[in-house]
């Protein structure tokens, strides 16, 4: 798209979700495995991510959660954020805790260029899965 002197405004609200069940591996490289795409890639004018959260669907040990971006449809990845999900024992009398990626918020969004996509993973296997959710917008 050609440059324009006009400001870019949000055109489309955007959410994404993914369920991670396998433990991520090879995270010290640009080609880790067992990552899941978190929604669709940013639109033709790029996008913003304003919130990323994760919740376990079963009892979970403390788990390192990973957030990556890819500019080439998942051929290579760049680690952009990580959070620690606290251990939790699933019970009908307790709320399931939500882990928020604290570096991403409406006041400090993660900016994505056109076609860039988020991927998520966990360094700990949880067969029942960890549900990730993202909120943001395309320009």
- Cβ 132 vs Cβ 7: under 8 Å: no
- Binning pLDDT at 50, 70 and 90, where does residue 12 land? confident
Residue 3 contacts by C-beta under 8 Å, 6 or more apart in sequence?
Answer: none
Task: Say if residues 70 and 119 touch (Cβ distance below 8 Å).
Answer: yes
Q: Given pLDDT bands bounded at 50, 70 and 90, which one contains residue 1?
A: low
Residue pair 69/39 in contact (Cβ under 8 Å)? The answer is no
Mean pLDDT across 93-101: 97
- Whether pTM > 0.85 for this model: the answer is yes
Q: Give the residue among 40, 1, 39, 33 at the shortest CA–CA distance from 17.
A: 39
């Amino acid at each position: 798209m050609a440059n324009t002197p006009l400001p870019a405004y949000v055109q489309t609200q955007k959410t994404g979700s993914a369920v991670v069940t396998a433990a991520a591996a090879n995270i010290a490289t640009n080609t880790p495995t067992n990552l899941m795409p978190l929604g669709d890639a940013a639109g033709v004018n790029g996008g913003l991510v304003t919130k990323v959260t994760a919740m376990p669907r079963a009892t979970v040990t403390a788990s390192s959660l990973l957030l990556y971006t890819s500019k080439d449809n998942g051929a290579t990845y760049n680690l952009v954020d990580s959070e620690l999900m606290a251990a939790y024992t699933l019970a009908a009398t307790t709320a399931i805790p939500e882990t928020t990626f604290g570096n991403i918020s409406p006041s400090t969004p993660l900016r994505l260029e056109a076609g860039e996509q988020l991927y998520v993973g966990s360094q700990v296997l949880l067969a029942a899965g960890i549900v990730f959710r993202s909120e943001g917008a395309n320009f």
